[in-house]
Structure 1
Amino acid sequence: MMAFEQIPKKDWYSILGADPSASVSDLKQKYQKLILMYHPDKQSADAPAGSVEECIQKFIEIDQAWKILGNEETKKEYDLQRHEDDLRNMGPVDARIYLEEMSWNEDDHSFSLSCRCGGKYSVSKDEAEEVTLISCDTCSLIIELLHYC
């Protein structure tokens, strides 16, 4: 189980003070700045115990955020989960579709399905293994992607 799955509602980007579109080098700079600021050894010896505890908690959160966002694979999984959470918040699922019901497009190596609005749902071959929700490229409808067991 991945670290971000243990606390799924944490926004690791906001913990680092970063935008989800930030590059890994930008994320690293923000991480390094924050980790030094909140490092337990950098705290004043005469600081109240409560503020020291808060700094330690913040330090731990910053470290967790970097462990997820600083690794290409875990960052990709986290970003996909965020995207799916956003889609879930947009509204109910319009339909449940098996991947095999979608059309394969050899040119761009993706699966697609026409939406009732005239737009289309599309997902790359790689993403098809990881995502469960796909939004229409034109309207706000969402389908759930199912896989045969």
Structure 2
Amino acid sequence: MLLIDNPTGRTYYEILGAKEDASYEELKTSYRSSILNSHPDKLQNTSLENVDDESQEKFLEVQKAWEILGNSRSRVAYDNKLEELRHDSFAAEEISLKDLTVEIVGEVVEMFYQCRCGDYYSIDSSELEGMGYKLFRRDESKISLQMSDALPSYVLLSCGSCSLRIHLTLNSDMEIQTDDDLSKFR
């Protein structure tokens, strides 16, 4: 879900791996786990200077999420802003993975949906993986979505040219049919 000032387009709850209705203790536990998994000292490199930019950004992102959600006042303000954005986020259509055109480029699965303006909405397997969703091959012509939570969720996608957006609904029981050779995709 694309929301509030963070470059990855994830909510602070998603960054910490916590549910939005999590208690303070649950948030704290999620934060500790996330910060340990992204801490520069725990990574392969031994000093902060050697940590690549992506790892450092992830670590700082976890810290920022905790800074907001760990404080009851800022969490309430954040939750209110989140709710406001959800109500304001107009989408031209609601689609599912089945509605997307699939193209396999190396080990990345790219998915497209044509906009009214003629351009495309797009998302790929690496972007989905970054949000906690994983695509896997069922057989030679089908790809399925693996989710950590069985509840449906959605991603808001923007068109490449115009201002229209769509809601891409994600369900754990979804399959994508493709004519491409999936032997390269794992």
Normalising by structure 2, we get a TM-score of 0.40
More helix by share: 1
Structure with more of its chain in strand, by fraction = 2
Structure ID, larger Rg: 1
